[in-house]
Amino acid sequence: MSSEDAEDLLHDSVIELFDLSDYSSTLPNDAKERYVAKLNEVQCDCPYVIENEYWTSSTQELETILPSVEFGDVWNYLVYRKQFYTGNDMNNYKSCKSYEIIFGDGLFFEFKALKLTNNNFLAKAKVHHSMAFSLPPLRPWVAFNPAGGVITAHCDCIAGLGECCSHVGAIIFGALVVNAQKTTLTVTDQPMKWLRKSVKPVTYSYLYCVNTVTNFIVSLNS
């Protein structure tokens, strides 16, 4: 058997390990291979085919399920993580302000998470196009390790193959806010208003994100 045939056999066997969505079949071959590789990193089926009963959107359960995501985890992924195709740092400073999406008026909804048997975590949400509510919502997902670091991520938007679009950033910030609220007594007694559709409050969570991003950037420039 040639090395090329062996590689094809290995690739086919990896695909058979995971259930793939119809979406994945629409991807170009190189993008599909990358998508399967990401599933292999996380060791799970495509999040788009995992049945709804395994996910939770309950505030209390999200606080229990999601790992302790800190701002350093956000920064490490969106800025310092290496791009798969180029090997360069992501350097996506714009997505470091994607917390604005989760506080937008109905843009960010159906935030859900689950814990895998290997102790990795998945989080997903739906995000409306800010300028085109009539279009189907986007479906970003992010995989976290037990320490809260991002393993990998994906979004079905045009920029999603780059793995660090603002919609992915919003998911990471969503997990960050859950962690911030569960460690703040005055906030854990209150509902997560940012999870409600069509509500745009100026809450502790919003100020936390703004101040954290601002302070971190200032510290880099000092």
Model pTM score = 0.78
pLDDT score, position 170:
93
CB 154 within 8 A of CB 35: yes
| Nearest alpha-carbon partner for 195 in 107, 95, 67 | 107
The amino acid that residue 86 corresponds to is T
CA distance 196 to 193: 5
Query: How many other β-carbons are positioned within 10 Å of the β-carbon of residue 78?
Result: 27
Evaluate if residue 187 carries a pLDDT over 70.
Answer: no
Taking only the tens place, the pLDDT of each residue in 103-149 is 776 789 999 999 999 999 999 999 998 777 778 999 999 999 999 99
CB 153 within 8 A of CB 163: yes
